[in-house]
Amino acid sequence: MTNRHLKSVMMVPAFLITLLYFFGAANLSADTRLQGFPEPPEEGCKEDINKDEKVNIVDVIALLLLGKDDPESPVADYTDDGECNILDVTSLLLNIMKGNLTELEFFSVTGRVIESDLGLEGIVLVLENEEGVWVQDTTDSAGMYSFELIDGIYELKPIIQNWYFNYEPDELEVIINGDSIVLPDIKATFASNTLSGRVLEDSIGLADVGVRVWWSEGGLDTTLVTDSDGLYSIEGLFNAPYLIIPTKENYTFNPYSQVVKMDGNSSAPDIIATPAGPSPVELHTIGGRVYCTVGPLASVIVVLAGPVEAGTITDGNGNYTFAVPNGEYTVWVIPIPLYQVFVPIAHTVTVNGEDVSNVDFFGYGAGGGVE
């Protein structure tokens, strides 16, 4: 947007005050509909800028603020003339005063996912708008996907459950501004990634530490041994969450377990080893289940914070367990695309000489049609 247009938008507050006074609406509250302002149609309308299912002066102010904060947004260009300026604000105000509401127009976004130039079936893609509302589609036998969207800016990417592939690009910005579009192909290649990390004692690599790498869904459960520099490495992994647990006699570790969500070749955070001494700390368990209305949720990342830090992933029955010393802990679940809301958001757990069970989380699907 040019400086001239930006200056025009910046001058709108005084202009709005004059218009509001002229229309006798200077003292109306945000929820008060200006006389003559019509209701939007049930399926929504272009003039409902702030998406509150009302059409009033608040939408004019919302367009003004949007034009200042994000002039490149297609929504800020109300007149569809390729520019964001004072004409957008005045046109919106005059049109809704006259009752000229415009039903939302939907445009198609299509594309395909390919592997070796052939369409790849069954890949789930999520498309999310700037407000965090998302929809999903699954590629057909030709690798094609399709969405119907209104003007706006979106992000498209394959979701976390597509463990077995790397994608190029792994996300796409989608800008809808009055036209349907065809997106570039997303190229999938079979994932074979390397996970590496190290174990340190007093900032020096610790040798001969057993490092268990586990992912229940993928059937992987193997133990590596750190070399003389405290390094470990494993190849051939998918883009999945892997649980890492270090073990060595007479040592404790922080974190004592962690989850690394692979995204191509990945490095795990350093593990700090401390000599345990002759009297090991008494441990108790914190355990629970992650589930939804249709059953347990497997391979969900669960995180623990408190006197010790740790991470784990749920097994095929949605269960998880931490072994911890006495203390107060916070347990929470990392949202996944199909279940973006978990109840409760987090548990506060006090361990005092006994195991704690039934620290459960229930997942709700938080998606819906993108508006």
Pair 273, 179 in one domain? no
Q: How confident is the model at residue 36 (pLDDT cuts 50, 70, 90)?
A: very low
Name residue, tokens 């034009």: 67
Phi, psi of 286, deg, nearest 5:
-115, 125
| Residue 135: pLDDT over 90 | no
Q: What are the CA-CA distances from residue 9 to residues 55, 72, 92, 210, 364 (Å)?
A: 21, 13, 14, 63, 41
Average per-residue pLDDT for the chain: 84
| Residue 369: pLDDT over 80 | no
* Per-residue pLDDT at 17: 47
Residue 277 lies in a domain: yes
Mean of pLDDT values over 283-307: 92
Question: How many domains does the structure of the chain reveal?
Answer: 3
Bridge partner list, 126? 136, 157
Cα–Cα distance between 281 and 65 in angstroms, integer? Answer: 57
Q: The domain containing residue 249 runs over which residues?
A: 193-364
Q: In sequence order, what DSSP letters do the residues of 24-93 get, joined into one string? A: T-TT--TTPPPTTPPPPPTT-BTT-TT-SS--SHHHHHHHHHHHHH-TTSGGG-TT-SS--SHHHHHHHH
Pair 120, 269 in one domain? no
* Per-residue pLDDT at 100: 85
- Contacting residues for 124 by C-beta, under 8 A, at least 6 apart: 136, 137, 138, 158, 159, 161, 162
> Where among 69, 98, 127 does a domain terminate?
98
What is the crossing angle of helices 86-98 and 57-69, to 10°? 160
Pair 245, 279 in one domain? yes
Pair 85, 174 in one domain? no
Segment 190-215, tens digit of pLDDT? 889 999 999 999 999 999 999 999 98
Residue 370 lies in a domain: no
Cα–Cα distance between 90 and 64 in angstroms, integer? Answer: 10
What is the crossing angle of helices 12-22 and 86-98, to 10°? 20
Residue (of 297, 191, 294, 296) closest to 238 by Cα position? 191
pTM for this predicted structure = 0.63
Pair 124, 37 in one domain? no
* Per-residue pLDDT at 28: 39
Residue 352 lies in a domain: yes
> Where among 170, 190, 210 does a domain terminate?
190
Segment 218-272, tens digit of pLDDT? 788 999 999 999 999 999 999 889 999 999 998 999 999 999 988 889 999 999 9
Tokens of 333: 């679940």
Residue 183 DSSP symbol: P
Residue 316 lies in a domain: yes
Q: Vertex 257, ends 251 and 258: CA angle to 5°?
A: 140
For residue 246, cis peptide bond before it (omega within 30 degrees of 0) = no
Pair 119, 241 in one domain? no
Residue 369 lies in a domain: no
Residues in the chain: 371
* Per-residue pLDDT at 162: 67
Pair 43, 153 in one domain? no
Pair 227, 357 in one domain? yes
Segment 53-112, tens digit of pLDDT? 888 888 888 888 888 888 888 888 888 888 888 898 899 988 888 888 888 888 999 999
> Where among 190, 223, 248 does a domain terminate?
190
Residue 54 lies in a domain: yes
| Residue 131: pLDDT over 60 | yes
